[in-house]
Chains A and B, each alone.
Chain A
């Protein structure tokens, strides 16, 4: 292969890899959010249908284990916190990845993309300007 087409091929590979990276992160967020919602459903079921002293069947992999409800709740809650944090990290990382993809495709950087958002109070103060 001549050097020109090799360079093109290398460039295209790079773009594809960056794009794949973005898509994979997005899918990962979706998967984690699915898990987060399932956990939330489980928590509300535990809250509404069982008392803390009861034992519930919890599925680990392909096995059901009887576990105290209070303990289970605690476990799931910890899992939720972990999930929230992970999703947040992925979202923040996604920005850098999208920027990189735009950069190697020669697209302009998204405006205001890397700004920190205003706090709720600050937004309230300028709210009438934003709802136009």
Chain B
């Protein structure tokens, strides 16, 4: 039996109904949609047809959801190699929108939407915002960038369809963001978590306390962040901070979202089929174990994705959620398998550096990792901003802090790194994604 959600059952948004679907019904729906997606991909996309033929798999071989593992993986490079329109499964006449992500290497990747795909995306974003406790009457400041990036328009159409009032301010111009937030009595903001930290800092400098404003919800995505960062944001901003998940290759924002339990992200499984695999072997991991998130789209027409390797590391949360949603949950993504860098033969994730700093200071300070090559040897420096909580008038206390940070990093990473305490505000705040790692090794 489906658990009835308690307090928000009365104003349950109609779009959210599938969130509470009984599991066997959901699985049946997924299978039907998976088979139709695979058929479409096989018929209309040469790359998928070739790869399935190589593996000797025909669309009709997909008889159960478990058969998904017979399908080939798709990786980001496939989208780059087929630039711009090579993976489209719909004729261009039916494509009503194109988005592109800025590629870090060479060409960007292009994604396409039919009218139907936009409706699916909007549906997923309505359910995302509803899961974050938003609805008609909320004033949503959408500070995701508008344009080729999927964040801005994705959140925009979702918020409108939800019935909320949208302020399409886009990213940047921090002072104006703060003025609008205050004057329009904004109740929710959509942006990256680090940009919100930047807003908090700047508001403080302007003598405005965001805590005192009507703002009550933050819908944060587009970069990995941690629970300690959430506590800081919630305390300083006087808001509930929700993590949402999405990527352009799959649809944009709206693939998954936290609910008010803030205990993992529900995947909108009727549109997106999730798997967790071992990134090295490509095999599924045991339920609840950590691995790479792989997603197959179930509803997309213009650009179906078969088993797309997200490079995001997560795990399924096994138990059902207290919110009553029957959608499976994944753990917050705290790192990407390709965020990793290698220094002196050691694999390092920025999230490891974060946990080492957290272990010493209790809260996460602003930090930056600088990689240099000196005399043919790679050097790693971690710059840590001194906060009022750890600053002392005694030299010994600061030396002690410095040493503890160094030891904690050494222990966590298995690597000696140079720590430098820097003055507050010395590290540039990002307006978008935080630049945690500055790799100067190629320039040297």
Q: Do A and B bind each other?
A: no
Q: Which residues of A contact B (CB under 8 A)?
A: none
